[in-house]
Structure 1
Amino acid sequence: MISMIYCWLVHYQHVAKSYLGKCAVLNEKLTQFHLMVDQMQHVDVLVQLATQRAKKWSVFISVDCGYHREGVPPDQDEMMEMARRLHQCQNINIQGLYTHNGHSYYADGKSDIVGIADNAVNELLLAHERLKSIGVNCETYGLGSTPVCLQPTESMRKLTEWHPGCYVINDLQQHMLGGCKMDEIAAVVLTQIVGHYKSSGCQHLLVDCGWTALTLQGQGKFPSGGYGSIINHPGLKLESMTQELGKVVSVDGSPLNFEEYPIGSTLRIYPYHACATCSMHSVYYVANSKDDIVGEWKPARGW
């Protein structure tokens, strides 16, 4: 049975000395608080702090299974040395192993994603067996990245956790990777048309969606160009943005029929990367299938 743990319910933070004061307070207050380490220096500062505290620390070891951004390679002695040092501290519990498959975002189709997932499973199981050989039996071992978790492989059943993030609302990036259909994207930016500009060579709509509402990610990623997909208007694209405003033009350069887009009306945009876009907003309005607002979500902030 796979135990799903959502990334916003359980806090993971790579250990840095400057963070540990805040982490110590959170560890005392929260029922579940987990730290992630991948270097011996992390272990040293954590062990030093843990001996001064009454409550145990829950620690994950980050394993590098091909992404090469962070994590310790599972076949290196450094992982074993880190585990021994953590295990020897009475106030530390090695909760498990985790790997992030960020390279799945650069995969060339589903078969490539499957290969990334299966390799990660094999590497994690190798790391798990190596730790068992020195008496460290991790309770959990899992992987993350939405492309992998949206297209799971049979081998992933051998893990105890999956850590998808963006899959909750999806975005254009996940659609382009084959993980979801367009109508399965729940993240939408609503923007209002605030001006018509009809001069020759510069015919466009002005909207109140700049890069502080959408981010600059996505340019050049779509056949039509632009920074997102304007829903139900395939002939339009968001061509450029400044901080607070955006220019919407026709995809093929033809003149716009401004009567179809009156000032004050709205357009809806699917973002390329929902994580980055959502971080720009302090409130998320939750709508049902009839576009009635049925709730408001307020995200947690801070690093």
Structure 2
Amino acid sequence: MTSMNWAIGVIFLSQTVFGVLGNLSFLYHYIILHFTGCRSRSTDLTLKHLIVANTLVILTVGVPRAMAAFGLKHFLNDFGCKLVFYVYRVGSGVTIGSTCLLSVFQAIIISPRNSWWANLKAKAPRYMGITTIFCWIMRMLLNIIFPMYIMGKWSNTNITMKTDLGYCSFVSNSKMTRSPYAALISLPDVLCLGLMIWASGSTVFILHRHKQRLQHIHRTNVSSRSSPESRATQSILILVSAFVSCYSLSCICEVCLTLFKDLSQLMLTTSSLIVMCFPTLSPFLLMSRDSSVSWLCFAWISNTKIFSLIRNV
């Protein structure tokens, strides 16, 4: 094992540990808020599903890549390869679907009352949960044919075209079957990405227009602190910006990996690192933006208990 492979293995292992701990910390953050009595928000369920999807992506990419870099290249058989890549595809799809859903929901919530979004304001929170579950089901069904193109490296099956993915192989009988399949697996992601960018652009436009209307209000009695809705909107915008940056690169890499047979291992390694960037960083981005809200919630609970004790005395 070369020093380069050792370094790659350490990088993937570190990113995996860092990402899993970050997502578990974010889940613990929600558990604490739940047991302390904080009122849940409409986006909390979708964010919890995002945590699960992030963890699946990190584990199915980081762990096999680290093991392959450390020299264990034949540790997965056909079934193991098919299962790992299927779970990765589903988790990756739910990640982009959940992020898209969050951006669209936030655009609906902050839209003015006279806009055509107004009719959806009251209905949107009720459909967040079922839409998130539908995202899981759709991704499971969409990627059900994906295992057909994955096999273990040790397999002796005679395949015309085979792309080495490091510890497994992507196979197809001819290049003609690769192009339609690449379009099939990329189309939902491209649609979600476009919808996400459109919703985020609408959100920025609404916030800019609202800010212009309030520019003439500069009174001492007006608080300089942003509202919870504004902080939530900024959190979603930061999340979407990070996602668009990471996922655009990873989507391009995946299409290239699907269409072209001869690719260097450096390209495969770079693609995997980019894929893991958003699931690893997103919980830390959200926790850093949500820390002030959590502190206010804890402070409110503490004050409520103190006042309650004083009344009892």
TM range (shorter): under 0.3
Which structure shows the higher strand fraction?
A: 1
| Greater relative CO (CA pairs within 8 A, separation 6+) | 2
The TM-score, its normalising length taken from structure 2, stands at 0.26
